[in-house]
Structure 1
Amino acid sequence: MLAAERRDHLLGLLAREGKIVAKDVAAGLGISEDSVRRDLRDLASEGLCQRVYGGALPASPAVVDYAARRTVAPDGKRKVAAVAAGLVRPGGSVILDGGTTALAVARALPQDLACTVITHSPTIVAALLDHQRAELFLLGGRIFKHSAVACGAAAVEAAQNVSADLCLLGVTGVHPDAGLTTADAEEAAMKRALSARAAETYVLASAEKIGTASRFRVLTWEKVGGLITDADAHDPVIGQLTARGVEILAAGDR
């Protein structure tokens, strides 16, 4: 089989099965595992898969820069945001992650809602300045421009001194086995620090992130209260998560 044919085979397998197991592909094609791994390295370098131990998973489309992410699945993010905003109770406190889905949540909060919003995202704070009854707390640190959020040691330390009823957390990858992932190690650490300071954590994930993975794990499924997504209820990944006991909050048309 030619290299181009192997590439097409691997991409087709990834689309159908949602994962690639290198040893199984090698046995099926009668080639070495090294050949499969080389092919996977090439695909990963083009952003077409996320390599993991023993094979590969679909790569998240949400690892592009902040400006580009604004154009990815805006309707899905709006639906997810509408459900997430409903979890913020009058008088309650919420840790709101950065990113474009979290920004949609901020914009979905009622103008007259009395609440406390803690965030490490300057864009979230700016979006809530006209919410007169919302108390805003901005956690500082080195600004990670890719996601327009504060990260690093100073930001993690600041996070350790707050607490909230709820954390609404964004990720780039949602996968039954890989868990909840993102593309930057420091951002993953910041997300863990934020989640640890809330009584409950719900994950924000529009449909294009379901079944995909990025390089760095944020949390395992045992650490979150549930997933808010507009993904089809019949999506096999949603079925696997439900079977694991993950609460799914469906974000349909609103």
Structure 2
Amino acid sequence: MLKEERQQIILDMLVKEGKLVAAELSSRLNVSEDTVRRDLREMDNAGLLHRVHGGALPSSPTLASFGDRERLGAEAKMSLAQGATSLIRSGQVILMDGSTTTLQIAKAIPAHISATVITNSPPVAVALAGHPEIEITMLGGKLFKDSLVNLGPAAIQELQHIRADLCFLGVYCIHPEFGISLPHNDEAFVKRAMIAGSSEVVALVTPDKLGTSAPFIVAPASALTCMITSNEVPENILLPYREQGITVIQY
């Protein structure tokens, strides 16, 4: 079997099964474990999958500019955001992470809701600037241009003195076994601080992010109180998250 054929079979298996174990692949493909590890390493370098210890997971969504991500799946994100606003109550202190989905939540908060929003995202702050009843606090730090969020020690230090009722967390990748992850370690530090300072943590997760993994782990999936995702996601995909005590809501 040609290497290209074997690697396509590996990709097909990964799509169907969501996770591959190198030792099992060796037997299924009738090749050595060294060959499998070499294939997985090459495919990881090509961005076709994410190699982990002992096997592979689906690769994270392609990293694009904030503007491109905002346009991608915009209608679906708006639907999830409308559902997320039902969790907001007047009088709450809310942490809003920076992502294209949390930006949609900011735009969708009803005018009668009175709350304090603390965010590290300039786009979220600007979106809320016209809201008549929302008080906005910006976290400091260095602007990370890829995600348009403030990061670094200043943001983390401020978060250590905050106890929020609710956190809307931007999620790049989530896997029931490997947790919440992303490509940039500096973002992971700030997200961990947001989780630690919040009574409830909610993530809006589009279907392409489920079951994927990236190099830097933020927290286990169970750090979420609630996950909001699309109606099109089948129950067998969602069950491992429900089993960890996460409330899963579909719109």
Q: With structure 2 as the length reference, what TM-score do the two structures score? A: 0.95
Structure 1 residue aligned with 2:224: 224
- Paired position in structure 1 for 2:107: 107
How large is the Cα RMSD of the aligned pairs?
1.5
Secondary structure of the equivalent of 2:35? helix
More off after superposition, 163-172 vs 33-42: 33-42
Q: Which runs of 4+ in 1 moved over 3 A?
A: none
TM-score (norm 1): 0.94
Q: Does structure 2 retain, via aligned residues, the 8 Å contact 1:98–1:124?
A: yes
- Name the CA distance, whole Å, in 2 between partners of 1:191 and 1:233: 25
- Kindly indicate whether the alpha-carbon contact (under 8 Å) linking 2:176 and 2:240 is maintained by their aligned counterparts in 1: yes
1:67 to partner: Cα distance: 2.2
Partner of 1:93: 93
Match of 2:41 in 1: 41
SS at match of 1:61: coil
Kindly state the Cα deviation for residue 123 of structure 1 after the two structures are TM-superposed: 0.7
Distance in 1 of aligned mates of 2:212 and 2:187: 18
Deviation (angstroms), 1:231: 4.8
User: Quick check: 1:113–1:131 contact (8 Å CA) kept in 2?
Assistant: no
Written as runs of structure 1 = structure 2, the 5 A alignment for 1:13-92 is 13-61=13-61, 63-92=63-92
Q: What is the number of equivalent residue pairs in this alignment?
A: 251
Following superposition, the deviation at residue 29 of structure 1 comes to 1.6
In the alignment, residue 25 of structure 1 is paired with which amino acid? L
Distance, in Å, in 2 between the alignment partners of 1:187 and 1:242 is: 26
Deviations 1:25-55 (A, max 9, x none): 1122221222212212222222221111111
- Shift in Å, 1:72: 2.2
- Give distance in 2, aligned partners of 1:5 and 1:204: 36
Name whichever of 86-95 and 96-105 sits farther off: 86-95
Give the distance between the partners of 2:231 and 2:211, measured in 1 at CA: 10
How far did residue 142 of structure 1 move? 1.0
Question: Residues 62 and 72 of structure 1 are in contact (CA less than 8 Å); yes or no, is this contact kept in structure 2?
Answer: no
- Measured after TM superposition, the shift of residue 194 of structure 1 is 0.9
The answer (yes or no) to whether the contact 1:156–1:190 under 8 Å persists in 2 is yes
Q: 1:243 to 1:163 in 2, by over 3 A?
A: closer
**Alpha carbons 1:176, 1:237 under 8 Å: kept:** no
CA distance in 2, matches of 1:8, 1:62: 19
Query: What is the DSSP-based 3-state SS (H/G/I as helix, E as strand, rest coil) of the residue aligned with 1:57?
Result: strand
After superposition, the C-alpha distances for 1:218-248 in whole angstroms (9 at most, x for unaligned) are: 1113322121111535242212222333210
Q: Structure 1 CA distance, aligned partners of 2:152 and 2:226?
A: 27
Measure, in 1, the Cα distance between the counterparts of 2:121 and 2:234.
34
Whole-angstrom distance in 1 between the partners of 2:241 and 2:147: 27
Match of 1:63, SS state, is coil
Give SS of 1:70's match. Answer: helix
**Greater Cα offset, 59-68 or 122-131:** 59-68
Unmatched runs of 5 consecutive residues or more in structure 1: none
Q: Which amino acid aligns with 2:146?
A: H
Q: Please list every run of 5 or more consecutive structure 2 residues that lacks an aligned counterpart in the other structure.
A: none
